[in-house]
Amino acid sequence: MNYILTFLLTISVLIITLVFKDLFYEDRIKKINKLIPGPPTIPVFGNLLQINSKDFPKSVNDLYEKYGQVLRLRLGNVEAVVLTGGEVLDECFNKKHREIFKERYLKLSRYFGKNLNFIFSNGDYHYVIRSIFSSEVTVRKLNNGRIQSNKFILEMLNNLCKDNDETVVKDVPLEAKKLATKIVLNFTLGIEENDEDLLIVISKVTSVFKAAGLLLYSDYLPILFPLDLKSMAKGDIITSYIFLKNYLDKKLESIKINENSKINNNDKILPTTKSTPLIEDYYKIYLEGSIHHDSIVLSLVDIILAGVDTTSNTLGFIMARIINNPEMQDKIYEEIMRNDVDNNSNNVSFSDHLKYPYIVSIMNETYRYYSLVSLTEPNRTTDDVVVNGYKISKGTLIIKNLRGTHLSKEFWGGDALEFKPERFKTQTLHQKGLFHFGAGPRGCPGGRYTESMFFTFMVILFKNYKIVNPNDTPIDDVGEVGLAMQCKPYNAKFIKRN
């Protein structure tokens, strides 16, 4: 009994102390940030309880509509600022304050990476990890087939449709996930996984991405951990992440055995033009002493996570949209046929994209309209900075409201909520106002990889097949919230073109 009383008393004292601290003490960050517009806070929780944990992006966007492009939030005891809109994002991350937005903010639920992984490491260490990846996805390498997307796309279509002229494919978004996972695993590990293992990897990746899109209260206020237990999100992130880590640990062991046997057999390593899987590149820089052993595996987990869910959901959404709008498919086919010299479209490469302005405009509109990553993993400011006239303190967590930036009538006009490829009439990717790959030094390094895969997919799929809805009701292409928006399952009939 005494124990219970002591426990309750301690908790009460703790809460009262926190309330008093919040009411009467202001640290430097709070003093500076309090002048930024934002919703009123309550002691201890700040604005946490005003946010719908299952739809964090919507809550953030509703607040943007009320408080404007720069708005302050207090998440438990963490000072946060939400930035919305192309000009503000560009000013901060690309032009004036690039250096200040270099750091990623590490939430408690992401701590298993121990600051050593790709997404959450910072400073020079992060730069080393990032540059190894970036050097493998240069435009030149992608044009030369670095990710072998053509091969995997054709294989997928052949497997799905065999020799049939018409095939109803079940759960098209899952097929897109299988494709994306095969490409990423081949790129990172140099392997082609069997179907059973592939499906397990997909389920773990999906689990992490779905859960990581929810707001976890304990990321900001550890005493609220019981609320997260209810949503199970934290559990899903941790167990699935650990599964992927163990999976990659095993792959790394076999690389080590291979390397050691080469050394023992005194094999001469001959120079080769063939690309090595990324895991070998990371292993080499570990042997040189540039990164910690754990970084090899943890960074690859990040790349697989970030690479699979984003690209596959993009393909899932755009196929749904095109099935619902057959006239769009006709225009795509016409464009492919105009370029199909010597029946050569299956060999298309990313370098051809300038000859396909209509497909490129669909890609741009897909990035905008479906806005796959609604809110990025946050950054943290490393100095005070003035944005749109508001001073933001050093040490503030920064949320990029990408979905709001892409779908706001303030920036895109009255038809912002319509899918209209014509708004991107020019031929280039990277259109002004689009921030689907984030911005600045922590922007997505997989942009070119995605574009190359997305573009070749569009040409090869629609050159060879017409895809139609086997049912009477249009396909539901409204995404479900995750770190990347999740496309719901649907079926489609694939009709072979002659």
Annotated binding residues for heme, as ranges? 444
Phi, psi (5° rounding) for residue 64? -60, -40
Close Cβ partners of 269 (under 8 Å, ≥ 6 residues apart): 262
Q: How many residues bind ligand HEM (CB under 6 A)?
A: 27
Helix 233-264 / helix 195-212 crossing angle, nearest 10 deg = 130
Task: Please answer whether residues 388 and 70 qualify as being in contact, where contact means their C-beta atoms are separated by less than 8 angstroms.
Answer: yes
Assess 201 for contact with ligand HEM (CB under 6 A).
no
Piece in contact with ligand HEM (CB under 6 A), picked from 222-230, 250-258, 298-306, 455-463: 298-306
| Beta strand extents in 144-267 (DSSP E only) | 166-169
**Looking at 46, 57, 213, 307, which residue binds ligand HEM (CB under 6 A)?**
307
The residue nearest ligand HEM at its CB is 438
Measured from the CB of residue 13, what is the shortest distance to ligand HEM in angstroms? Answer: 40
DSSP state of 111: G
Assess 450 for contact with ligand HEM (CB under 6 A).
yes
Closer to ligand HEM at the Cβ: 156 or 224? 156
Measured from the CB of residue 66, what is the shortest distance to ligand HEM in angstroms? Answer: 24
Q: For residues 82 and 38, what is the distance between their CA atoms, to the nearest angstrom? A: 10
117-176 residues in contact with ligand HEM (CB under 6 A) are 118-119, 130
Phi, psi (5° rounding) for residue 398? -115, 125
Assess 445 for contact with ligand HEM (CB under 6 A).
yes
Task: Please answer whether residues 74 and 22 qualify as being in contact, where contact means their C-beta atoms are separated by less than 8 angstroms.
Answer: no
Assess 442 for contact with ligand HEM (CB under 6 A).
yes
Closer to ligand HEM at the Cβ: 303 or 348? 303
Q: Which residue has the tokens 């009439």?
A: 425
Tell me whether strands 465-468 and 390-392 are parallel, antiparallel or unpaired. unpaired
Assess 403 for contact with ligand HEM (CB under 6 A).
no
Residues making up the binding site = 444
335-394 residues in contact with ligand HEM (CB under 6 A) are 372-373, 376
For the chain, the residue count is 498
Assess 437 for contact with ligand HEM (CB under 6 A).
yes
Q: For residues 397 and 418, what is the distance between their CA atoms, to the nearest angstrom? A: 32
Measured from the CB of residue 497, what is the shortest distance to ligand HEM in angstroms? Answer: 27
Q: Output the CA–CA distances (angstroms, integers) from residue 236 to 214, 415, 489, in the order listed.
A: 11, 38, 21
Assess 64 for contact with ligand HEM (CB under 6 A).
no
Reduced DSSP (H G I as helix, E B as strand, rest coil) percent helix, strand, coil of the chain, to 5? 60, 10, 30
Q: Output the CA–CA distances (angstroms, integers) from residue 51 to 102, 214, 306, in the order listed.
A: 27, 11, 25
Question: Which residue type does 368 have?
Answer: R
Closer to ligand HEM at the Cβ: 216 or 429? 429
Measured from the CB of residue 373, what is the shortest distance to ligand HEM in angstroms? Answer: 4
Q: Output the CA–CA distances (angstroms, integers) from residue 92 to 23, 80, 360, 410, 476, in the order listed.
A: 31, 15, 27, 19, 36
Closer to ligand HEM at the Cβ: 116 or 221? 116
Closer to ligand HEM at the Cβ: 119 or 211? 119
Piece in contact with ligand HEM (CB under 6 A), picked from 346-354, 391-399, 444-452, 468-476: 444-452
Piece in contact with ligand HEM (CB under 6 A), picked from 59-67, 213-221, 389-397, 439-447: 439-447
Measured from the CB of residue 6, what is the shortest distance to ligand HEM in angstroms? Answer: 45
Measured from the CB of residue 112, what is the shortest distance to ligand HEM in angstroms? Answer: 16
**Looking at 303, 322, 398, 461, which residue binds ligand HEM (CB under 6 A)?**
303
Q: Which residues pair with 428 in a beta bridge?
A: none
What is the largest distance, in Å, between two alpha-carbon atoms of the chain?
A: 86
Assess 56 for contact with ligand HEM (CB under 6 A).
no
3-state DSSP assignment of residue 377: coil
Assess 446 for contact with ligand HEM (CB under 6 A).
yes
Measured from the CB of residue 435, what is the shortest distance to ligand HEM in angstroms? Answer: 7
Piece in contact with ligand HEM (CB under 6 A), picked from 155-163, 208-216, 219-227, 306-314: 306-314
Piece in contact with ligand HEM (CB under 6 A), picked from 215-223, 287-295, 422-430, 441-449: 441-449
| Beta strand extents in 18-131 (DSSP E only) | 70-75, 78-83, 103-104
Piece in contact with ligand HEM (CB under 6 A), picked from 234-242, 261-269, 310-318, 383-391: 310-318
Closer to ligand HEM at the Cβ: 292 or 493? 292
Q: For residues 228 and 215, what is the distance between their CA atoms, to the nearest angstrom? A: 9
88-117 residues in contact with ligand HEM (CB under 6 A) are 104
**Looking at 332, 348, 444, 487, which residue binds ligand HEM (CB under 6 A)?**
444
Displacement of CA 50 from its chain's centroid (Å) = 25
Displacement of CA 164 from its chain's centroid (Å) = 35
Q: For residues 403 and 478, what is the distance between their CA atoms, to the nearest angstrom? A: 14
Q: For residues 331 and 227, what is the distance between their CA atoms, to the nearest angstrom? A: 50
Closer to ligand HEM at the Cβ: 98 or 256? 98
Closer to ligand HEM at the Cβ: 84 or 311? 311
Assess 470 for contact with ligand HEM (CB under 6 A).
no
DSSP H helix total and E strand total for the chain: 18, 10
The 8 Å CB, 24+ separation contacts for 42-46 are 43/18, 43/19, 44/15, 44/18, 44/19, 44/76, 44/77, 44/221, 45/76, 45/221, 46/73, 46/74, 46/75, 46/76, 46/77, 46/78, 46/220
**Looking at 306, 328, 348, 392, which residue binds ligand HEM (CB under 6 A)?**
306
**What residues line the site for ligand HEM (CB under 6 A)?**
104, 118-119, 130, 184, 302-303, 306-307, 310-311, 314, 372-373, 376, 400, 436-439, 442-446, 449-450
